[in-house]
Structure 1
Amino acid sequence: MAAYGYHDNKRRHLNRLRRIEGQVRGLQRMVEDDAYCIDILTQTSAVTKALRSFALSLLDEHLKHCVAHALADGGAEADAKVREASEAIARLVRS
């Protein structure tokens, strides 16, 4: 099985995702409890920021590991990894 760039930080990433999951559950409770709209929007903004931060961290690891190794090996694989990373960056920017 291939070890991806996030492998060494897998536990940290999972903990981060669990915290984000807790934030989303908090949003659900806020709606169930008829919380004030602005409070829900504020929490939604926090969840969005947390997810974006997670994505940027994962992207950084992907560039440092997967893309760097492909570039070192060269060839079509290197071109494919750079294109793949560029497309991922474009998706993040649009979101």
Structure 2
Amino acid sequence: MIGNEETIAQVLNRLRRAHGQLAGVISMIEQGRDCKDVVTQLAAVSKALDRAGFKIVATGLRECLTGDPADGSEPMTEAELEKLFLALA
């Protein structure tokens, strides 16, 4: 994982929130709840996941551009970076 402990904690917090929201969506569907309510909660899950992904990308961008000598990773190419960003779009 890329980033300092504070960043990692923020990402994990967002992912846990999304996890709880997704469990709520599943429960709502099982209970036959209104479509509007389900879609609203599903959008919240999606936003939480997007924010976690963007945080990871933003934090790791420098490492992605330069590579990490500690683990021997090579810098990402422009095409790889573009693909990474589009995966979150």
Q: TM class by shorter-chain length?
A: 0.7 to 0.9
Give the C-alpha shift of residue 6 in structure 1.
Answer: 2.9
Structure 1: gaps spanning 5 or more residues: 71-76
Give the C-alpha shift of residue 7 in structure 1.
Answer: 4.2
Residue in 2 that maps onto 1:18: 16
Give the TM-score, by structure 1 length: 0.72
- Alpha carbons of structure 1 residues 82 and 7: separation in structure 2 relative to 1, 3 Å: farther
Give the 5 Å matches for 1:1-95: 4-8=1-5, 9-64=7-62, 66-70=63-67, 77-78=74-75, 80-93=76-89
Q: % of aligned pairs identical?
A: 29
AA in 1 matched with 2:3: Y
SS in 2 for 1:6: coil
Contact 1:67 1:82 in 2 (8 A): no
Contact 2:14 2:49 in 1 (8 A): no
SS in 2 for 1:12: helix
Structure 2: gaps spanning 5 or more residues: 68-73
Give the C-alpha shift of residue 11 in structure 1.
Answer: 2.2
Say what the alpha-carbon RMSD is for the aligned residues: 2.1
Contact 1:27 1:44 in 2 (8 A): yes
Residue in 1 that maps onto 2:70: none
How many corresponding residue pairs? 83
